[in-house]
Chains A and B, each alone.
Chain A
Amino acid sequence: DAKTTQPPSMDCAEGRAANLPCNHSTISGNEYVYWYRQIHSQGPQYIIHGLKNNETNEMASLIITEDRKSSTLILPHATLRDTAVYYCIVGEYGNKLVFGAGTILRVKS
């Protein structure tokens, strides 16, 4: 079973920041937080991952709380092409990924 809890859906206005929350209260010390997204009828796309420090790359930022029980994925300037299902996954680095239901993000103009 997935170890994360995400809201089923969220809306975001185009050009605004999209903040996607994820709860992972049972995360263990050696487990990473991964974010992937899946655009309709395509394979998942990697976004970002982190262990305990905040991370940023060209796609997004990942904010992990100090107790590591929750995290937030931030898309700084959402576009219509960011409409997708976003999956938050916890697991040991390099091991299998168990997908939960994810959050459907709808970016609207």
Chain B
Amino acid sequence: GAVVSQHPSRVICKSGTSVKIECRSLDFQATTMFWYRQFPKQSLMLMATSNEGSKATYEQGVEKDKFLINHASLTLSTLTVTSAHPEDSSFYICSARVGRGAPGVETQYFGPGTRLLVL
């Protein structure tokens, strides 16, 4: 299947700094990518939908000025956590959607996740 990578896999930062997480589709083009957040022992929570060349669509309750999303190309989306605080510490996961094709094809491929720890 298609591969989605994330970088970095783990990051530790000081409170008040900004952190950028990259999500790349390695062998396919993704017009749409999704960003999720997962706290310990909880399920994945969708944060936003990122479409190439346009503004991201944020889920209710997610601060768009704090979680900046850029989808500048068909293979790269970035999530920047601005002025990070300890409560932003979480597991951030992206997924990339293959273009609408035959229903027999998997729809979304997930990255391995990025673990953020804010001190």
**A contact residues vs B (CB 8 Å cutoff):** 32, 34, 36, 38, 41-46, 49, 51, 87, 93-94, 96-102
Among A43, A94, A98, the residue within 8 A (CB) of B112 is A43
The answer on a CB contact under 8 Å between B103 and A51 is yes
- Cβ-defined contact, A87 with B107, below 8 A: no
Per-residue 0/1 for B100-119: is the Cβ within 8 Å of any A Cβ (1 yes, 0 no)?
10010011111111010000
**Does B43 make an interface contact (CB < 8 A)?**
yes
Give bound CA distance, A96 to B94, whole Å.
12
B20 CB to nearest A CB, Å: 18
Residues of B within 8 A of A36 (CB): 110
Is the Cβ of A96 less than 8 Å from the Cβ of B112? no
Known pairs A96-B46, A98-B46, A99-B43; A46 contacts B103 (CB<8 A): no
A-side contacts of B49, CB under 8 Å: 96
Decide: B113 and A96 in contact? CB cutoff 8 A.
Answer: no
Q: Determine whether the beta carbon of B46 is less than 8 Å from that of A97.
A: yes
Closest chain A CB from B50 CB (angstroms): 11
A46 to chain B, nearest CB (A): 5
Which of B36, B44, B103 gathers most chain A CB within 10 Å? Answer: B44
